Amino acid sequence: MTGRITSRLQEALTALKATQQYRQLPNLQHHGRYVISEGQTLLNIASNDYLA
């Protein structure tokens, strides 16, 4: 059972990658209202972190 689910998920991921629809979250470091992305410090104006 688990093998079938894993296989179906892998097929779905492969299909997404083949059609360039696979999304990966960027690797960001968070520092208060700023984020560091690819060595640049940027103001995070799109944050939805209302619980912090």
In a domain, 48, yes or no: no
In a domain, 17, yes or no: yes
Residue 34 structural domain:
2-43
Give residue 50's pLDDT. Answer: 63
In a domain, 49, yes or no: no
Structurally, the chain folds into a number of domains equal to 1
In a domain, 50, yes or no: no
1-52 tens-digit pLDDT: 689 999 999 999 999 999 999 998 888 998 988 999 999 999 988 867 666 5
In a domain, 29, yes or no: yes
Per-residue three-class SS string for 9-49: HHHHHHHHHHCCCCCCCCCCEEECCEEEECCEEEECCCCCC
Give residue 47's pLDDT. Answer: 66
pTM of model > 0.85:
no
Contact indicator for 30, 44 with CB cutoff of 8 Å: yes
